[in-house]
Chains A and B, each alone.
Chain A
Amino acid sequence: DQQVKQNSPSLSVQEGRISILNCDYTNSMFDYFLWYKKYPAEGPTFLISISSIKDKNEDGRFTVFLNKSAKHLSLHIVPSQPGDSAVYFCAATGKRGDMRFGAGTRLTVKP
């Protein structure tokens, strides 16, 4: 049973607009959440993270929001650029550091 769920397999947005990628988790023991970006034929690369003691973390065009009561997090990309087109994975971990990943959302940013 997947502990981290990304219910949207794909998302398409226009260049310059906002991209919002969503993620839900079921395990209340998770206390650290990460987003990874993956291009074809490459391993995932770390994008941004958030600790459970925060509800928002921002890094340039990327912002992650965490709603602990709803067990939900989202990644906002503003403005979206064609180079952002990739598969985005949500991940969660607890004290042991072993991570659980969602199924991924393929983002396409159209020029």
Chain B
Amino acid sequence: DVKVTQSSRYLVKRTGEKVFLECVQDMDHENMFWYRQDPGLGLRLIYFSYDVKMKEKGDIPEGYSVSREKKERFSLILESASTNQTSMYLCASSLSLGISYEQYFGPGTRLTVT
């Protein structure tokens, strides 16, 4: 069974803080993704990565950065948290392209910025 874990289920941070969200997958997947989920907007892609040290911007990368130093770990960084970044953050992973497009999701981190 593929397992994607996220470091926290709930997180409360103050405006201006630097926030790290960690994601780890245990199935040697090549690709990893970060989304945020907001009511009425569904899941929106923030960043994704095809390989270690590689990253690609998604649809809403502003205010975020990512790090992938190891294949199994993909971190999302909020450089200076703002209240409009209060959201549910979901991490996902998938096998190599051409093999499967199916993404496996972690349980999510609900981040509140006050």
User: Which of B56, B90, B102, B106 lies in contact with A46, CB distance below 8 A?
Assistant: B102
B36-52 interface code vs A (CB 8 A; 1 in, 0 out): 00001111110010100
With a cutoff of 8 Å between Cβ atoms, the chain A residues found around residue B41 in the complex are 2, 103
Scan residues 1-56 of chain A and give those whose CB is less than 8 A from a CB of chain B: 2, 4, 6, 9, 32, 34, 36, 41-46, 49
The interface bits of chain B over 56-87 (1 if a CB of A lies within 8 angstroms of the residue's CB, else 0) are: 10110000000000000000000000000000
Assign chain B's interface to a size class: 20 to 34
Chain B hits for A36, CB < 8 A: 105
Within 8 A of A (CB), among B15-55: 31, 33, 35, 40-45, 48, 50
A4 closest partner in B (C-beta): B42
Question: Are B105 and A103 closer than 8 Å at their CB atoms?
Answer: no
Interface size on A, residues (CB 8 A): 27
A98 contacts B33, CB within 8 Å?
A: yes
Q: How far is the CB of B97 from chain A (nearest CB, A)?
A: 5
Cβ contact within 8 Å between A45 and B105: yes
Name which residue of chain B comes closest to A3, CB basis.
Answer: B59
Q: Across the two chains, which residue of chain B brings its CB closest to A96?
A: B97
CB-defined contacts of A42 to chain B, threshold 8 Å: 107-108
A95 to B97 alpha-carbon distance, docked (Å): 8
Task: Identify the A interface with B (CB < 8 A).
Answer: 2, 4, 6, 9, 32, 34, 36, 41-46, 49, 89, 91, 93, 95-104
